[in-house]
Each structure stands twice: as structure tokens, then as C-alpha cells.
Amino acid sequence: MSSQPSALASTTDFAAHVAAELTEAVRGIDPAQAEAFVEALDSAANVFATGAGRSGLMGKALAMRLMHGGSAAHVVGETTTPGIGPGDLLVIGSGSGETRTLVPMAEKARELGADVAVVTLKPDSTLAKLATLVVQLPGASKSRENDDYATIQPMGSLFEQTLLLFFDASVLRLMQRRGLDGNKMYGKHANLE
């Protein structure tokens, strides 16, 4: 664990330090796990994204970009979200891998024949054990129990930021696989603004 360094005297100093933490964190992502995640996104008939709190917001960001890329992507709990089934993928972001509201979702998705991808700090967690695919992100847990990853950020901020970067990088890789660019994706951008 790390406390706020006294040398940081401005908002931009803190931003630079956070960026350095993120750079270090993404270097620790296993490339094989990352590629397996993109393959799962690419082959899924429907992708359902979920998470609790800020991790859930990162899941919404993933679903939006997947939709822009031509995937049938949904956010769990929205009124327009269809049912899940075989050939579908449930993506769960959970630092602890123990979020009580997410465990029944993973169990139900598996029961209905869907695959479950869990992106977490804890590859031995309950959610990871229910998953068909696990991506371990480096970082510090909210409680900082049994952590040896240093961050100046509060609670799960480093995990949530790394989760967003991982999801965005996965979309970039998916775009590459599908021969998409930003101009093609912009055609699916919201236009009732």
C-alpha cells in the first residue's frame, strides 16, 4: 500500500502519477487471457455486460463500444435487455470476484447455457470459479486486505480504471479483427442528441 506522496502538489501531478500506475497495471495483463477475451466477444451471438458500482459503469462503456462495432450488446438490468442463452456471453467486472448480487447472475447464465467471462483481481474467487473465461487484472482491492500492489488511489479506483482501459483495448483489437475503424463505427453512434 502507498499513501499520497508529499511530492505531488497539484491536480496534474496526481493525474501523472495515476497514469503511471495505470501503465504499470496494464503491463501485468496476461496477453493470452486478453486474446481469449476478444475471441469470446467476437464469437458471441449476444454480449451482456454487468458489474456493481463503478465496475458496472465500465461494463456499460464496453457494451456501448461493442454496439458501435456491430455486436449485439446489452447491459444487464436495462428494460430492453433480452434473455440470455446458448451462444451468448455474460461479461462480469468485479475486483473482488465475490460481489453477492453478481454470483446468482453468473450461476443463472451458466444454467441457461451461456458463457461467462469474469474480469477480476481474484482468479480464485467465487465468480471466477463460475466462469468459462477469467481475465486477471493487476491492482489493489477496495479493502486492501492481502494486497501488495501499491496505489495512491482510494478503494477500487485502480481496478476500475484498468478495467476500462482493458475493455477499450479489447474493442480496439476487435475492430482490428473485423476491419473496422472509427468512421465506420460512428455510423452507429446515437443521433437523438
pLDDT digits (tens, 9 = 90+) for 89-140: 999 999 999 999 999 999 999 999 999 999 999 999 999 999 999 999 987 6
What is residue 65's three-state secondary structure? helix
Which phi and psi (to 5°) does residue 74 adopt?
-140, 155
Give the CA-trace dihedral at 53, 54, 56, 59, to 10 degrees. Answer: 180
Q: What is the CATH number of domain 12-178?
A: 3.40.50.10490
CA dihedral 49, 74, 64, 142 (to 10 degrees): -20
Which is the catalytic residue, given 24, 35, 160, 193?
A: 160
pLDDT at 144 over 90: no
State the pLDDT at residue 1.
39
User: Among residues of the chain, what percentage have pLDDT more than 70?
Assistant: 84
DSSP assigned state of 118:
E
pLDDT confidence of residue 20 = 85
pLDDT of 85 > 50? The answer is: yes
What average pLDDT does the segment 8-13 reach?
Answer: 83
* Averaged pLDDT for residues 27-55: 96
Question: What's the mean pLDDT in 62-72?
Answer: 93
**Which residues is 89 bridged to in the sheet?**
47, 115
Q: How confident is the model at residue 178 (pLDDT cuts 50, 70, 90)?
A: confident
For residues 186, 189, 192, 193, the Cα torsion angle rounded to the nearest 10 degrees is -80
- Where b means 16+ CB within 10 Å and e means fewer, 154-190 reads ebbbbbbbbbbbbbeebbebbbeeeebeeeebeeeee
The three cell numbers of residue 146 are 492481502
- 160: annotated active-site residue: yes
pLDDT higher than 90, residue 75: yes
The predicted model scores a pTM of 0.88
